[in-house]
Structure 1
Amino acid sequence: MTGRPPEPDERTETPAFEVADLVVRHGGVTAVRGVSISSPPGRVTALLGPNGAGKSSLLGVVSTAARPDAGTVRVFGHDIREAPAAARRRLGLVFQERTLDKELSVERNLWFHARLYGMKRVDARERIGLLLELFDLADRRRSPVEELSGGLARRVEIARALVHRPGLVILDEPTNGLDPAARATVWGDLLRLRQELGVTVLYATHYMDEAEYADEIVILRQGRIVRRGAVDRLKGGLDASRLVVGSADDEAAARQLRAAGFEPLTEPGGVAVHCADPEARIAEVVRALDVPALTVSVHRPSMNDVYLAAAGQAETHRRPEGTITP
């Protein structure tokens, strides 16, 4: 596909969204506790965390579907309390639940959305044609949604969210319930949004691999931010790089490595030596062994390591009055 200039909202220096000291309560339970995040236009931000972490509650407020109990939220400079309609015009939403009219065709679903936003017929026709091509849906434009697979239907929902030219697209668990092939296809579509349309993306997920698509990952637990940053920065902040040596006698290998000044740990697959630059230590580790080394492998931190470290950090905080599954 050929590149296109960014959408009008992305040409401004105004942040796509700003969340400051956000608090969200449901009855007597606090779901979001003083969260502050923001994004410049064109960035992809992931909210990662278990059920009940506050992801959906946070997205509900940013999308103007719910009001905050404290704090401020702005979408392209528009405060959601003072100017919710202006903020809403700059938002495209994709929910966990399927919200398409199954009896209507793909194209008619997009036309209905365009009418809701008061788009002129000529403008809507051009926009819908562009999105059908962008999402490879042109040959299914007259197909009833009920005939589509789950992955195709999700693509239609994303296309529909873009009809009125929003600057910010919010997605809550966008691939929930899809098979791995459909998940990969949907993410291919989402990653093209910034390249083709200059769209800012904010999404919630509980899949570690999906979080890695983001420019910034925000890990939530019990309504608080416990870690945030780019993927490489989050992984680089862990002391989890290691060499794993598999041998005929792991106990003997561990003793020999300990005698050579290492601090080995036995794990499935062999004996692990944690070090900042494992590739540079391979020869040194192998020389310390009298037992034959059958395998030597390098392991770098994964997002799962980051997530588990964040979970451990969160457990050091006293559990407050409760959380809920938002």
Structure 2
Amino acid sequence: MNALEVSALGFAYGARQALQGVGFNVAPGSFAALLGPNGAGKSTLIALLTRLYDLQQGDIQVMGCSLRQQPRQALRQLGVVFQQSTLDLDLSVEQNLRYHAALHGMAKPVASARIDEELARQQLNERRHDKVRDLNGGHRRRVEIARALLHQPRLLLLDEASVGLDPASRLALNRHVRQLCRDHGLAVLWTTHLLDEVQASDELLILNRGRLVAQGLASQIGADDASLAATFERLTASEARV
């Protein structure tokens, strides 16, 4: 069973087609990078994956559960870190996590154990009582990852999670998520427009003008042009962007 299956996905804003026939899979324990220029359709895809938008065409399954037919079961298997932070800056790290646990209906003893576990995993134990506004960008992202993993999903979705971070923090966050993937069998879909966040061993999806123009191992996709950057330029620069 794949962690994520996207089948024949289409979506339009009135007469403008934002996604056309998009289909791909993400296997359990794998790191998949969704790469595309600004306006390629990544945000629309994320909105559909998280059910912010209703499906128009096609289907999405998370751990075999259809977002059309079993939305609650599907969303329980999904953890999300959105591009724009949704943390309450005036609450502490722990208070933000407890609020999220309550939304998921966790009993207090279970929530406490899971919060302790995730704060340790994200190396944030010493910051648990700090207000979020006192954290730097990298630590805020780690709080969001901890929050996304509280209910123990099988798929973690990160939408341009490194936006606004300095280069060192971007690299640290990327490495940290990959380590979670390796150590805990977590499937990850990482969306970005930055080539340096993609590694040769990644399952790579390139989206342009609402269509997948390439998918496969990053090392193979970039082989014909001798570099991923050259391939990306060739696949995305020839047509006007959505």
| TM surpasses 0.5 | yes
Q: Distance in 2 between matches of 1:217 and 1:307?
A: 11
Equivalent in 140, 148, 154 of residue 161 of structure 1? 148
- The 3-state SS of whatever aligns with 2:181 is helix
Alpha-carbon offset, residue 28 of structure 1: 1.8
Equivalent in 141, 163, 168 of residue 128 of structure 2? 141
**Aligned position for 2:71:** 84
Q: Distance in 1 between matches of 2:63 and 2:138?
A: 30
Q: Is contact 1:31–1:52 with CA below 8 Å preserved after alignment?
A: no
Letter in 1 for 2:144: E
Q: Which moved more, 1:16-25 or 1:182-191?
A: 182-191
Unaligned runs of 5+ in 2: none
**Aligned position for 2:210:** 223
**Aligned position for 1:190:** 177
Alpha-carbon offset, residue 163 of structure 1: 0.5
**Aligned position for 1:248:** none
The TM-score, its normalising length taken from structure 2, stands at 0.95
Equivalent in 93, 101, 120 of residue 107 of structure 2? 120
**Aligned position for 1:270:** none
**Aligned position for 1:107:** 94
Higher Cα Rg: structure 1 or 2? 1
Q: Which moved more, 1:146-155 or 1:121-130?
A: 121-130
Q: Does 1:24 align with 2:2?
A: no
**Aligned position for 2:231:** 306
In 2 relative to 1, CA 62–214 (structure 1 residues): closer, same or farther, beyond 3 Å? farther
In 2 relative to 1, CA 213–180 (structure 1 residues): closer, same or farther, beyond 3 Å? farther
The TM-score, its normalising length taken from structure 1, stands at 0.71
Deviations 1:138-173 (A, max 9, x none): 110100001011111111111110001011111110
Q: Distance in 1 between matches of 2:29 and 2:48?
A: 20
- The 3-state SS of whatever aligns with 2:177 is helix
Q: Which moved more, 1:192-201 or 1:73-82?
A: 192-201
Equivalent in 192, 199, 213 of residue 205 of structure 1? 192
**Aligned position for 1:53:** 40
Q: Distance in 1 between matches of 2:227 and 2:135?
A: 35
Q: Which moved more, 1:51-60 or 1:93-102?
A: 51-60
Letter in 1 for 2:46: L
Alpha-carbon offset, residue 185 of structure 1: 1.6
Alpha-carbon offset, residue 123 of structure 1: 1.9
Alpha-carbon offset, residue 213 of structure 1: 7.0
Deviations 1:100-154 (A, max 9, x none): 0111111111111111111122222121111111111011010000101111111
RMSD, matched Cα: 1.5
Taking CA–CA contacts closer than 8 Å with sequence separation of 6 or more, which of the two structures ends up with the larger relative contact order?
A: 2
Unaligned runs of 5+ in 1: 1-13, 241-300
**Aligned position for 1:278:** none
Count of matched residue pairs: 242
